[in-house]
Structures are given as C-alpha cells and as structure tokens.
Structure 1
Amino acid sequence: MRTGSEPATARSALRMRFWLSLWGVLWAAFGATVFSLVERPGWAAACAVLFVVAAVDLVVVTRHLRQGPHWQPGRDIPPYEPDHGGRGRRPGTGPGPRP
C-alpha cells in the first residue's frame, strides 16, 4: 500500500542479495565437497541443504532482476488513504453529496 512517505530515490537490494546468494552457493558447494571427501556425512548434508536453499534464492532473485522495474506512481499521484482496519468509510464522512 502506498502511503506517500516512500523516498523518491528508493533502490532495491536485489543486486546485493544476488551476490550474497552466489557467495553462499559457492561456499556451500565447496563445503559439501570437502566434507564429503573427509567423510563427514552430517556436515556434507548440511552444506548440501544450504546449497539448495541458496540456489533457489539465486534463481528467485535472478527472475526478479530480469522482470525489470515495476511501475510506481509519480509525485503527481496523491498518496492513498490509509487503511482503517479493513472497515470501509462510514456513510457521510467522505467527499461527495450528503444524503
């Protein structure tokens, strides 16, 4: 919901999240490989699970980056009225003719 208090130059953290998940994929793959070679199956399995989680995150972030920027209302669009707890306006309180 747009409140009107968003910064005009807000930026997404997707690129940072991309690099962090790539870093996680690389280290988890390295850890799973090393722990498999030194016959530590528990640690190898933990690194393999971490690898899968980081790889899924990497795919999601890449998909979001490829979608490109989404439309955001400009400065000429006034902010939306805040949500009043899911209840609609009371009759006679909004703009327009009164009964």
Structure 2
Amino acid sequence: MRTGSEPTTARSALRARFWLSVWGLLWAVVGTAAFALSGHPGWAAACGVLWLVITVDLTVVLRHIRQGPHYQPGRDVPPYRPPEGGSRGRS
C-alpha cells in the first residue's frame, strides 16, 4: 500500500542483483562440474538445482532491466486511502 512517505528517487538495485546472479551462476556451474567429476552425485544435483534457480532469477532480472523505468506517481498524487474496516490481521 502506498503511504505517501516513499522516497521519490527509490530504485530497485537490479544491476547489483544481476551481477550477484552472474557470480552465483558461475559458482553453481563450477560446483556442478566439480562434484560430478569427483563422484558426488547428490551434491552435483544440489548445485544443478541451484543453477536452475539462479538462471530463472537472472532471466527475471534481465526482463525487468529491459522493461525500463515504470510509471511512478509524482508529488501531486495523494497517497492511497487505507482499506475500510480497520486493521487487517488483528483478532
């Protein structure tokens, strides 16, 4: 929910997330190969699953980077009103 107190220049750290994903991808590939060659199929499979997760994350990050900046409401847009009915989650 938008409260109106968000920083006006807030941006997602997609470039940092991209480079961290690349670093993790390299380690996952090397780990998969090293464990497979050393005869540890369980660890190789674990690194392979991590490799898959990192690849999906990297794909999402690249998609978001290519989409470019999204619309951000300016200072003249009032904050959203809180939902009616009081606080959620209270008993």
TM-score by length of 1: 0.80
RMSD over aligned CA atoms reads 1.4
Gaps of 5+ in 1: 87-99
Matching of residues 4-83 of structure 1 within 5 Å: 4-83=4-83
Which protein is bigger by CA-based radius of gyration?
A: 1
Q: With a CA cutoff of 8 Å and minimum separation of 6, indicate the structure with the bigger relative contact order.
A: 2
Q: CA–CA distance in 2 between the matches of 1:35 and 1:27? A: 12
Moved over 6 A (4+): none
Total equivalences in the alignment = 86
Percent pairwise identity:
70
Q: Against the structure 1 CA distance between its residues 10 and 49, is the aligned structure 2 distance closer, same or farther, given a 3 Å change threshold?
A: same
Gaps of 5+ in 2: 87-91
Q: CA–CA distance in 2 between the matches of 1:18 and 1:84? A: 39
